[in-house]
Amino acid sequence: MKKIVQIVLFFMVLTSCVSPEKHLQALQKEAEGESALIVDALHAGLRDSVVHLGLENEDILHFVYDARGLCYWSSRSLDISVIPDVDYSGWHEYEFSNATTEVMWSDAGWYQLMTVVVKDWHINGLDEIERSFSYQPIRDYQQRNHSWWQSARDRVRVYYILLISLCVAVLGMAVWMLIAARGFGNLRFRHKIQLLVSLLVLIGFVYQIISVRNFARESYQERQQMQLQRLCRYVQSDLKSLYFFDLNISSFNESGMNIDLRDLAYTYDADIHVYGLDGKLLASSTPELFKSGLLTRLMDPYVYYSNQPTQVRYEHIGSVRYLAAFTEFVNGSDMQLGYIVMPYFISEADIAIEVNRIMAKLFPAFMIVILLTLVLSYIAARAVAQPLQILTKKMQHFALGKDNHLVYKHKDEVGELVLRYNRMVDELERTTRRLISSEREGAWRLMARQIAHEINNPLTPMKLTIQQLQRVRGTDKFDKLFDQATTTLIEQIDNMSRIATSFSTFAKLPQVETSEVDVAVKLCQIVAFAQNNINNVPIRYYGPDSGVMAYADKEQIGQVFTNLLKNALQAIDNREDGDVIVILKENEQEVEISISDNGPGIPEDIQPKIFTPNFTTKSNGTGLGLAISKNIVEGSDGKIRFDTSDKGTIFYIVLKKVIL
């Protein structure tokens, strides 16, 4: 965790675009403000305020001297065994034994204030600091060579690789599904469930693994703190027995106390330091730490100036932290003689051992639960989506007159949806039956009116002709008028016969039976026959002669082509520049036939009625040709439409292509 924090801080420094010189100037300016406040507090005799002001910022160090020497310090990290001799003219660079700094002196009456801004610590190496502690490196070395730790570390690495591979696989599948569906909204319902559940499971377990790792680290550190506190109480009890009758301790008995502390350190497997009531070192089990300048001879000011002398907190040497336990050094009468400090270096190797030990036990369970959850989510998603798939397939094959009901036994949300669907099917069938009956009756009424109208048209001239014959009967005009009347009557009778035949043909029109038809061959035959029209109107054909297979009624599709060509020739109406063009083209899924003429076009007011049965603008037409053509094309699951203007009309027929 510490390395991650250091990396983040490193990138923050890189992206902040603040040069070291500007950063140092900002620290110096802040230090000058703190120094001014401390000087004012010293002039006013407010020592407590000085303590709080000096401890607020760890990047800026303050040291106060009086006539007897050092009386206040805000950090014990800096080795001030040698006091810099600089003037009061501002900031000066000074090289301490363990740091490169900028120093500024301030005069505060009876006191002198030294303010220090650290530019660089000389002791930053973890190995160098670790070797300075007496017992912890030995224990680390022994633990690191245990075969069980090596095995646990290797297993945890394998589990991490498996987890990362699983996360990459799930994320890759998610990206592929989103790209294939072109967005989350277009995914199928079960894929949405699988994707969301898988991502949530992985995110949850990754978070859980990180939490367990952090908990293992914190738990281990807490146990070390509790152990250190317990050892510190044992040392306090032993020193209390050794110095039961002492009323004070001083540097005069340093040598003897060093021996006592060394014996206790060997017993409790930890370093021990003793500080006096003035916060300065009196004795240590490892005096080499102080002689080498790795540690200063001052006590941690946070503990020394606080009201809680018994506590555990982190100290630091340069940029490296270590744990330290503090408690009071008392005699047999519980009179305080000084302070006991026990430093304890918890290396990252120790934490890694503990974390790997716990993760090696938990990871198999994590992986099993993750895999089971993913598999169960897949099964659950399919189970939830299955009724919807059944409903979708049923609706795709929905057809009136068939059993369109769904069977679903459960009473959940899907069951309610199926129930609503079945009710809708029943209502739709009832409505359809009523609509069909109503349309059938309406169609027969319309047909009856149309037949009556068409028959009534020739009856009127027939009646007038017969009445005229009755008036001239017995006169000389009868013979002459008789010949004209019989001709008129025969024409009207033929017209009535033709009308009856057309309506009979429309009524007996067979059901469209779709099959695979070579529409190119069929169209070429019809065009060749129509090119021999009595008006010699040119009919041009563009397209293949054969090999264009489409779904249509093999017998009736020719009637569609004939009707459209006949209408095109009639639209030209003997124009000298008359021209009819027939084009056949195809794509991957459809076949399109277009038949165009250069006639006057279809008037706008009658365009909506062009496919209506019995509607015609011709004196001798029945209005059934286009209606029959539309019925044949749409019965083959095709489409028919037209575009018209004053320059001509184009009819388009689109049929489904046979994909081989």
Terminal CA-to-CA distance of the chain, rounded, Å? 65
Using pLDDT thresholds of 50, 70 and 90, give the confidence band for residue 398.
Answer: low
Report the C-alpha gap between 140 and 154 in whole angstroms: 18
DSSP-H helix ranges across 243-309: 254-268, 288-291, 301-304
Q: What is the pLDDT of residue 148?
A: 47
- Summarize pLDDT for 112-157 with one digit per residue, the tens: 899 999 888 776 555 555 555 554 443 443 444 455 455 666 677 7
Q: And the tokens for 225? A: 């703190």
Give me the long-range contacts of 63-72 (CB less than 8 A, separation at least 24): 63/113, 63/114, 63/116, 64/38, 64/108, 64/111, 64/112, 64/113, 64/114, 65/111, 65/112, 65/113, 65/114, 66/110, 66/111, 66/112, 67/110, 70/298, 71/111, 72/47, 72/301
pLDDT of residue 339: 93
Contact 313, 228 (CB under 8 A): no
CA distance 64 to 49: 13
Amino acid at 491: E
Q: Tell me the pLDDT band of 591, cut-offs 50, 70 and 90.
A: very high
Which region among 85-94, 158-167, 330-339, 581-590 has the lowest average model confidence (pLDDT)?
Answer: 158-167
- Which has the closest alpha carbon to 496: 553, 456, 529? 456
271-297 per-position pLDDT tens digit? 899 998 888 888 988 888 787 777 788
Q: What mean pLDDT do residues 288-307 have?
A: 82
pLDDT band at residue 213 using 50, 70 and 90 as cut-offs = confident
Query: Which pLDDT does position 13 carry in this prediction?
Result: 44
Percent of the chain topping pLDDT 90? 8
pLDDT digits (tens, 9 = 90+) for 425-474: 778 778 877 777 676 666 666 666 666 666 666 676 777 777 777 777 77
Tokens of 199: 């991502």
- Residue 3 has what pLDDT? 47
469-488 burial, b if ≥16 CB within 10 A, otherwise e?
beeeeeeeeeeebeeebeeb
DSSP state of 252: G
0.75 exceeded by pTM: no
pLDDT of 583: 92
Section 519-531 average pLDDT: 86
Burial class (CB in 10 A: 0-12, 13-18, 19+), 180: exposed
Amino acid making up residue 280: K
